[in-house]
Amino acid sequence: MADVSSKSTKVTSSHWGAFEVDVENDRIVATRPFSQDPNPPRISAILPAAVHHHTRVTRPAIRRGWLHGRHREGRGSDTFVELGWDEALDIAAQEIDRVRRDHGNGAIFGGSYGWGSAGRFHHAQSQVHRFLNSIGGYVASFGSYSTGCAQSIMPHVFGVNFLSLLYEHQDGWQTIHDHTKTLVMFGGINPKNSQVSMGGITEHETANWFDRFAAKNMRCINIGPQRTDAPGGCEWLPVRPGSDTALMLALAHVLEHEDLTDRTFLARHTTGFARFRPYLMGETDGIAKSPEWAAPLCGVEAGAIRDLARRMASTRTLITVAWSLQRAEHGEQPYWMSAVLAAMLGQIGCPGGGVGYGYGAIGGVGKSLIGLRGMTFPQLTNPVEATIPVARIADMLRKPGEAYDFNGRRTPYPDIRLIYWAGGNPFHHHQDLNALHEAWQKPETIIVNEPWWTATAKRADIVFPATTPFEREDIGRTNLDDYLFHMPRLIPPQGEARDDYAIFADLAERLGAGEQFTEGKSAEAWIAQLYGEYRDLAADAGVEVPDLDTLKDRNWMRLPIQAKGPNRTFFAPFREDPEAFPLGTPSGRIEIFSETVDGFGYDDCPGHPVWLPPSEWLGTATGAAPLHLVSPQPGDKLHSQLESALADVEGARPETLVLHPVDAAARGIGTGDLLRVFNSRGACRARALVSDDITPGVVALPTGAWFGDPGSNIDPHGNPNVLTLDVGTSRLGQGCSAHTALVDVAKLVTHAD
Ligand SMILES: Nc1nc2c(c(=O)[nH]1)N[C@H]1C(S)=C(S)[C@@H](COP(=O)(O)OP(=O)(O)OC[C@H]3O[C@@H](n4cnc5c(=O)[nH]c(N)nc54)[C@H](O)[C@@H]3O)O[C@H]1N2
Ligand SMILES: Nc1nc2c(c(=O)[nH]1)N[C@H]1C(S)=C(S)[C@@H](COP(=O)(O)OP(=O)(O)OC[C@H]3O[C@@H](n4cnc5c(=O)[nH]c(N)nc54)[C@H](O)[C@@H]3O)O[C@H]1N2
Ligand SMILES: [Mo]
């Protein structure tokens, strides 16, 4: 018999990198590492099972209670009724129309935070934003869960947009390799996290750089609660989570006490040291921020702090700070203080010296590329002015009309009646999920586009099945990577899934905005147009990019955009001539004291960095909640994505919690034991991994296990966000405080636990 099966192999891109995909009879059957990637991530291996998983949303679905009577009760517990596309779209469009007529577009929340799709046209957030703008606007969100707090505080300190600092001005790996002698990594630099980068990352190079650093005998010191936050071969200085500011202050105290401060740099390039110094030396509050003061707070011996400070002052030192440090209550402080410490060392603007943020957070940080823009789907303009800091969503839902502070501004929370989410999973990403579940009951309607029945889809009223990137054509291109991909449609849409673009085009049509949304173009026509525009811009920058048909044939290409020579960061000219190249701060200098921040009058973020202990950390540990929970990114997936299939792997769920042998012994816990992790906010299961790679008193449970259904007093899969604290980092940053939480752990003994 003739073989009628169809087989093909193509390369595609994702947020965690490129990979080869084998397709057979319209099914993804296998993935393989991409040939150009020196350290391919293991994430893609689970993809075939996830894409075809039984948890895919296959048809439009409306929650029974909402369909029959618009009842809000039942989100998360109700069953769904499947409908045909036309009927479901009619119902959704009528409801959106009702809300905008009765309450205005300011009652629609479309922030829709999340990491859906690396492809640039079908990027779900851009799609939902454009759609909502085409029908009159929506309440947007500002910042990110990743770096929201830093995005608020750092412009006050360095006078530059934080994201542009990260991606355009920090030293690249080559410069660090060539110049840095001491790499001081607060929160480590973890190749596990740099597997991922928004929009894609092709050559995963972090681990190789560390091999080269080791070959040069660079001292790489990981300061944080977990040894595993940095590659093997790095030194580890264990610290208690949330205490980094105290440690940095003590390092600064040593510099000042031993006359190692670079006074020339402070005088020419900074402002406000005179206002900060009395606090540092204890003249204002009677407490010198000495190593002896910091030692019991951070759990590092005073002698080790002194040695480190001297080493930092006597060698070319780069301080790096993980984003995790600002994803915690008072996260502004370690960020600002790291800049002050670097300023006191006087190496800011020297190659391989100063301070940098997020080198291990995502793979794009540290790549030296010429600034060639990516490709974006235009979102139109939003007539609604109200926005919220992204992590304040539950507060917004709980407190409509109530005023809140944010970076010097005081505004009321909008009164939200309808939420539209596409491309994110708030019941993965938000803190204190049991409280979010309560707040989520308030809006009249929740609409979600999702490929999978996530905890968020299950808590929606209307769910539209969305395609995954593998079911549609797109372009993979980001300014953080030097590869360009044609992402072919590999398989047909699963079930009745449609592209977000098609869903929004149909809704816009029903709402009289079809033309505004689509401009009469098909998805294919948009991709051709956006690619053409990108190609023209590239040509202007002297980079030749093939036409779309050629790219389709080639599937991928490496772009010749690697920067030659050392980075000229904007700190370098500023260092040479601060008058000619001032920073964007009010003083034109690095602000050790900020009149602006001081003027806000916030006691949780005063005019210079200070030690403000978080409300939950080992310093406030109680018998009921004696352990500090950190909840890092998962190594085997991107957030909650691909969880559907990972959860099927024998023994994979509940998720693994790392704890120290001392804490394990005190509770009679051994590796492999099933655990109950709990505090006053909630409880989840976990599987124990006993290891001395973690600081005593600290436990680590990665994010991303799917949040369970309501009604259970314990989350079965191990989602740390049932335990985390939902407070803003401060009134200034209002970022999320995910790494701030005290918990206890016990062995699960009975089935009822
Ligand atoms: N405790 C704790 N919590 C945290 C963090 C932490 O460190 N600790 N980190 C935070 C951070 S930094 C982040 S960035 C967030 C991440 O949080 P999210 O970005 O919300 O997490 P994802 O799981 O990536 O959610 C993306 C969703 O989009 C869906 N999706 C994928 N492609 C498409 C598409 O084409 N169309 C549509 N409509 N949907 C699609 C996926 O199925 C998935 O449900 O989590 C935050 N939460
Ligand atoms: N594989 C994979 N990689 C990812 C992601 C993913 O989902 N999967 N998500 C990506 C995203 S969206 C982001 S924003 C980045 C986030 O990148 P990061 O913010 O760097 O990552 P985290 O994993 O939250 O935290 C890193 C480590 O910080 C340590 N830490 C926690 N609190 C403290 C503290 O108070 N002090 C110190 N010194 N250390 C502390 C923890 O031990 C933790 O393992 O990761 C990205 N990379
Ligand atoms: Mo993030």
Q: List pLDDT tens digits, range 159-173.
A: 999 999 998 889 999
What is the average pLDDT across 559-578?
86
- 25 C-alpha to ligand 2 centroid (Å): 39
- Residue nearest atom 28 of ligand 1, based on CA coordinates: 423
Ligand 2: atom nearest CA of 632 is 23
- CA separation for the pair 105, 383 (Å, rounded): 9
> 739, 740, 743: which to mutate for ligand 2, most atoms within 8 A of CB?
739
For ligand 2, atom 24, name the residue with the nearest CA. 632
The pLDDT tens digits for 351-401 are: 999 999 999 999 999 998 988 888 889 999 999 999 999 999 999 999 999
Q: Which amino acid is at 479?
A: N
User: Is 113 one of the annotated active-site residues of the chain?
Assistant: yes
632 lines ligand 2 (CB under 6 A): yes
CB atoms within 10 A of CB 610: 22
- Establish whether 279 is a catalytic residue: no
pLDDT band at 563 (very low <50, low <70, confident <90, very high): confident
The percentage of the chain sitting over the pLDDT mark of 70, rounded to a whole number, equals: 98
Half-sphere exposure of 31 (CA within 13 A, CB side): 23
Q: Does the pLDDT of residue 206 top 90, yes or no?
A: yes
* Residue 373 pLDDT: 84
Q: Which residues line ligand 1 (CB under 6 A)?
A: 114-117, 122, 124, 145-146, 327, 422-425, 428-429, 449-452, 454, 466, 468-469, 500, 631, 638-641, 703, 720-721, 724, 738
Q: Residue 715: CB partners within 8 Å, gap ≥ 6?
A: 433, 682, 683, 684, 685, 705, 707, 708, 722
For residue 3, pLDDT over 60 is answered with no
What tokens does 259 get? Answer: 């006359």
**638 touches ligand 2 (CB under 6 Å):** yes
Cα–Cα dist 728/751, whole Å: 37
pLDDT class for 711, splitting at 50, 70, 90? Answer: confident
Q: What is the pLDDT of residues 19-34, one digit of tens each?
A: 999 999 999 999 999 9
Given a cut of 70, whether residue 753 has pLDDT beyond it is no
**C-alpha separations of 585 from 5, 127, 589 in Å:** 64, 35, 6
CB 739 within 8 A of CB 240: no
Which among 113, 145, 452, 556 is annotated as catalytic? 113
> Could you tell me if 220 and 176 are in contact, meaning their C-beta atoms sit under 8 angstroms apart?
no
Nearest residue (by CA) to ligand 1, atom 7, is 632
pLDDT tens figures, 280-326: 999 999 999 999 999 999 999 999 999 999 999 999 999 999 999 99
Residue to probe by mutation, ligand 1, list 13, 16, 115, most atoms within 8 Å of CB: 115
Tokens of 158: 């360095």
Residues 620, 623, 629: CA angle, nearest 5 degrees = 60
The fraction of the chain above a pLDDT of 90, given in percent, is 95
Question: For residue range 485-533, what is the model confidence (pLDDT) as tens digits?
Answer: 999 999 999 999 999 999 999 999 999 999 999 999 999 999 999 999 9
Overall average pLDDT of the 660-678 stretch: 98
Q: How far is the CA of 116 from the centre of ligand 3 (A)?
A: 12
Nearest ligand 2 atom, CA 700: 42
Residue of 66, 115, 452, 602 marked catalytic: 115
**DSSP-based three-state secondary structure for 316:** coil
What local confidence, expressed as pLDDT, does residue 566 receive? Answer: 62
Sheet holding 483-487, edge to edge: 474-476, 483-487, 556-558
3-state secondary structure 610-673: CCCCCCCCHHHCCCCCCEEEECCCCCCCCCCCCHHHHCCCCCCCCCEEEECHHHHHHCCCCCCC
- Split at pLDDT 50, 70, 90, the class of 567 is low
Q: How far is CA 667 from the centre of its chain?
A: 33
- Residue 483's contacts (CB-CB under 8 Å, 6 or more residues apart) are 13, 18, 36, 200, 202, 203, 476, 556, 557, 558, 559
What's the confidence (pLDDT) of residue 1?
46
User: For 347, phi and psi rounded to 5 degrees?
Assistant: -105, 5
Look at 133-137, 283-287, 710-714 and tell me which has the smallest mean pLDDT. 710-714
Closest CA to 323 of 296, 351, 360: 360
Angle (CA) 645-651-654 rounded to 5° is 80
pLDDT for the residue 564: 78
CA 322 / ligand 2 centre spacing (Å): 7
Note the residue count of the chain: 753
pLDDT average, residue stretch 558-564: 91
**DSSP secondary structure code for residue 402 in this structure:** -
Structure tokens, 43:
């994430």
Q: What is the mean pLDDT of residues 140-145?
A: 97
Distance CA 157, CA 175 (A): 24
Backbone angles phi, psi at 273, to 5 degrees: -60, -35
Beta strands in 129-242 (DSSP E): 140-142, 182-186, 219-224, 235-238
* pLDDT value for 749: 79
Q: How far apart are CA 494 and CA 466, in angstroms?
A: 9
CA distance 742 to 246: 19
Rounded CA-CA distance 651/649 in Å is 6
Cα-to-centroid distance, 488 and ligand 1 (Å):
23
Query: Cα–Cα distance between 735 and 148 in angstroms, integer?
Result: 5
Work out the average pLDDT over 40-45. 91
CA distances to 112, 282, 313, 410 from 253, rounded to whole Å, are 44, 10, 12, 36
Whether 429 and 621 have beta carbons less than 8 Å apart is answered as no
- Give the model's confidence band at 153: pLDDT under 50 very low, under 70 low, under 90 confident, else very high: very high
For residue 266, give both structure tokens: 């402070």
- The protein residues having their C-beta less than 5 angstroms from ligand 3 (an ion) are 146
Cis peptide before 654 (omega within 30 of 0): yes
On average, the pLDDT of the chain sits at 96
Domains defined for the chain, CATH in brackets:
7-51 (no CATH), 61-143+378-471+487-520 (3.40.50.740), 148-367+581-600 (3.40.228.10), 618-749 (2.40.40.20)
Residue 617 tokens read as: 């950390």
Q: Which of 633, 643, 689, 699 to mutate to test the pocket of ligand 2 (most atoms within 8 A of CB)?
A: 633
